[in-house]
Structure 1
């Protein structure tokens, strides 16, 4: 049951609190005890609970809640069958795979995979080393996320953390820093769509199956940061490939069918930290099956649609993600946050 707070029994907040806890299945007695502890009289508190329970608007909400629970039971049962596979926690690795096989086994089956062969010969593995990028573009101004250490919701507030910096200065920070999440060049920097950096895409060689070369310039994103840079738990709204160029990253992944355990109350974000889960605050996370893969230079992770993921750079890191596919890759997700 949620904590009871509010100034008075007729306050709108109390009505919402009562309705929320009734929808969660809380008993009248437990709610009444909470309201009395908050300083409300027992009789008016009980009358308020009854008033909400008898309201036809609440009846409609309860019916919608039951339909929501049915949907959760459907996807929960699907996840149980899926996870019963003894190899469920393994993320397959392929040196080579043809497009038809990849489409059937990973895209249509919603399964992650690591591709190890196609990017091994990319010129980027040589040309995107931090010292070479600094020599080539060091005086250019870029936009990074900065001040992330002081904001636990830094990714949700990413726009507020944008700061201009000389590329060479940022690359020196990324190379010399032992372990830090304070500054990161992330996907929303738009660097690869700027004419002065367009030549970087010439260093991208063979693409994985179903990746669209014609869409690379408009759908590729560069990531650079020191060891310790972190992308918090969230899901994307499309499928993507993520190729590691310098250093290694650890990916932790959770099936989209486990959405209810992600405490997703805002857009695509979860407050859960899979590296150090708070089981007292987020108890449902204890039942979640977490998959893990470390992606090394020249390797590519395929992230299927809707999979939750949390990423951490284990070393100074350069990587590129791209979402342009030869199949439809635009999807709509309802924001769970109240308007």
Structure 2
């Protein structure tokens, strides 16, 4: 046996200067740039270079870089080297003496970890793989683990449209559906590999090649694809995934339209689809958003890379079992980098990442058997592991529950003008068919304002690399105005929120954007920071003081439509010599952790709620050019006026509750908050207490998060209902947990403000809390609530929902 030392010496002697490079870099990035003559010369140079230059990955890429793209024939010869040399049927006689073998001839004393992984991924069988039993559900919701650890299996007859929508469509839950009639489709018998080859062998279909930038897809006769399927050993095999197969063979479209009780197992979803994507809309789209796809993912063990779709999807398996791996939208799969151009295949992920996952990071898994259909909601990360040759029918579609995500995905890239035009045409048609969807489909006043602003020279895209120098000039200007320093030091863009935030050597600079009443948020934050700074001498105990404001104002004069209001505050590190993080990165998982996090937050809210505002409300201590701040009933009235339209546009709650919303909302602001009836009044309500606005550090000794500062008073309200902050803390920090100890602490704090409660049965505590959720000026609080309580979709009335979330408070 060759020792490691001898192997290293032989490798150095054989590779020369290439010895210094990783084998993967040499093969993937260098040898794939060479032509056939250079590769042939390298084969004659040394043992290692012979093996590297014969690597099938190199010859596969060379083949697709040079092949005739008009040809629909490809005869796979067992290796890509032989296929490159003899690609067409007329070469059959010339290569008759060559073995159909893709294994590199055995060369002694060649050791390579890269080649070992390549061989392992190509030859490992998953035919008998079955996922382990799921972990028990966890009581709290966190960012680092799936929420629903089990995918249920439902019988088709047990699901009508409404039940499916409320149980799975609205809460965005995956489900496996069985006994739906797939076995009665003509495709069940007609779409075996043998039958397809016999009937459609000469028909070209679309083949996907995920390993090629030159030719990511091409047309190939089915018989040639089947031949490749049987003899290849590629770790990233070609696969048939054709959204337009019915154009080539119209009769195939009838193979899954059985005349039984269900045309296919996703008929529940299809009926919803038809309501939104009519036939005329489908033609206008010219996009396979709702098309059925013939999906043949190739030889086992193969599968997809990690995918995230903005449409819902269904997949009906016709012949073999497949493993499905899912992660919910809020959780990026371990080992997967969404920003990386290279992504792991399912085989690579199962071999290199899956065995080493801790229990809390394991995916939600299920095996799909022939005849079953799996429903994958939009936004879910999903991966399919084929355990054998697989034929499946897949569908992507939009409905009431994900139309917002579809809109965002189609409008995400402003350079994709055709895609944006498709959406605009589709939105116009859908708004006529479904007027109730119009607020979610058509541009809002804010959207129209943003389009105007983007056409002006003063507008800069906050996240455009091309605008980085201009943003740095703006930050430098603000730092000099606020502090007098001409050198801001290193400027770092931080955060991904709606406002534009920069960290400098002298402080934190935030520019307010027009989104979500950005100018009002600016005024509120300036007013709150001014009040808190004037009262800072009274701060005692563990109050989470905000950073000190160093300056505020407008970047431009009033000649521009958006003047870019800004504030600059000190960096907290100036007072706290620790690395500060947001509490959302380290949310507690038990009551002991909350006992550290919650009391300082409540002490801070108590301080804000109890401030003496007499001088600030009677004598303006702000620049007179600033408007009046958000105050009391006037602010509540504005939120109430906008609530119904906002929720129709956001579509966070299920459609059956949205229909009932106008009758559930209060008739006027005083029904929500009326000090004359004993409702407690808070001097300064923060308005958006959530884990992202609580900064602190992780105590290395006890591993508890220790809060130090409460930031972002952009939603602050004066002389308002303290329940606004109570509800926010309960939903975003306690995650709606029915933990009597922590929630009682929260309610005791509210009662200390002098809240007396109300005997009016229409103004119960639970109803007032639910009203505050619905009056929230942005969708963030509603989104967090329905994630914490996914059963919202199965609740039939707002009264039932309010009791489920807040009704038990009255017993504390």
SS in 1 for 2:374: strand
Indicate how the Cα distance of structure 1 residues 337 and 240 shifts in structure 2: closer, same or farther if over 3 A, else same.
Answer: farther
Residue in structure 2 matched with residue 192 of structure 1 by the alignment? 245
Summarize deviations over 1:284-331 as a string: whole Å, max 9, x none. 998524011111211101001100011121111100111245646434
SS in 2 for 1:259: coil
Indicate how the Cα distance of structure 1 residues 123 and 304 shifts in structure 2: closer, same or farther if over 3 A, else same.
Answer: same
SS in 1 for 2:239: coil
Shift of 1:210: 2.1
| Contact 1:245 1:297 (C-alpha < 8 Å) held by counterparts | yes
Summarize deviations over 1:112-157 as a string: whole Å, max 9, x none. 10001112322211110111111111111223124x5xx4xx6xx5
Which of 292, 304, 312 matches 1:220? 292
Pairing 1:1-339 to 2, within 5 Å after superposition: 78-79=141-142, 83=146, 88-96=148-156, 97-118=159-180, 119-146=182-209, 148=210, 151=211, 157=213, 160-175=215-230, 181-186=236-241, 189-194=242-247, 196-204=248-256, 205=258, 206-207=263-264, 208=266, 209-212=268-271, 219-224=291-296, 225-259=298-332, 262-265=336-339, 274-278=349-353, 287-324=360-397, 327=400, 329=403, 330-333=406-409, 334=412
* Distance (Å, rounded) in 2 between the aligned partners of 1:337 and 1:233: 27
> Which consecutive residues of structure 2, in runs of 5 or more, have no partner in the other structure?
1-139, 283-287, 414-462, 467-812
Shift of 1:104: 0.8
Shift of 1:337: 10
* Distance (Å, rounded) in 2 between the aligned partners of 1:337 and 1:294: 43
SS in 2 for 1:252: strand
Summarize deviations over 1:251-298 as a string: whole Å, max 9, x none. 11101111386532159x86585413459xxx9998524011111211
Summarize deviations over 1:80-100 as a string: whole Å, max 9, x none. 69956xxx3211011221111
RCO higher in 1 or 2 (8 Å CA, sep ≥ 6)? 1
Indicate how the Cα distance of structure 1 residues 180 and 289 shifts in structure 2: closer, same or farther if over 3 A, else same.
Answer: closer
Summarize deviations over 1:61-107 as a string: whole Å, max 9, x none. xxxxxxxxxxxxxxxx75469956xxx32110112211111111111
SS in 2 for 1:211: helix
Summarize deviations over 1:219-274 as a string: whole Å, max 9, x none. 1111112222321112111101111112221111101111386532159x865854
> Which consecutive residues of structure 1, in runs of 5 or more, have no partner in the other structure?
1-76
| Contact 1:238 1:305 (C-alpha < 8 Å) held by counterparts | yes
Indicate how the Cα distance of structure 1 residues 110 and 81 shifts in structure 2: closer, same or farther if over 3 A, else same.
Answer: farther
* Distance (Å, rounded) in 1 between the aligned partners of 2:367 and 2:357: 25
Question: Which has the greater radius of gyration?
Answer: 2
* Distance (Å, rounded) in 1 between the aligned partners of 2:338 and 2:366: 23
SS in 1 for 2:205: strand
Residue in structure 1 matched with residue 546 of structure 2 by the alignment? none
Identify, as 1 or 2, the structure richer in helix.
Answer: 2
* Distance (Å, rounded) in 1 between the aligned partners of 2:161 and 2:343: 33
Shift of 1:177: 5.6
* Distance (Å, rounded) in 1 between the aligned partners of 2:465 and 2:344: 17
Pairwise CA RMSD? 3.5
SS in 1 for 2:304: strand
| Contact 1:120 1:299 (C-alpha < 8 Å) held by counterparts | no
| Contact 1:173 1:226 (C-alpha < 8 Å) held by counterparts | no
SS in 2 for 1:89: coil
Identify, as 1 or 2, the structure richer in strand.
Answer: 1
Indicate how the Cα distance of structure 1 residues 78 and 299 shifts in structure 2: closer, same or farther if over 3 A, else same.
Answer: same
Count of matched residue pairs:
245
* Distance (Å, rounded) in 1 between the aligned partners of 2:299 and 2:329: 29
Indicate how the Cα distance of structure 1 residues 108 and 128 shifts in structure 2: closer, same or farther if over 3 A, else same.
Answer: same
* Distance (Å, rounded) in 1 between the aligned partners of 2:179 and 2:464: 41
* Distance (Å, rounded) in 1 between the aligned partners of 2:216 and 2:393: 21
* Distance (Å, rounded) in 1 between the aligned partners of 2:377 and 2:216: 28
Indicate how the Cα distance of structure 1 residues 83 and 130 shifts in structure 2: closer, same or farther if over 3 A, else same.
Answer: closer
SS in 1 for 2:330: helix
SS in 2 for 1:311: strand
Shift of 1:172: 3.4
What's the TM-score once normalised by structure 1's chain length?
A: 0.62
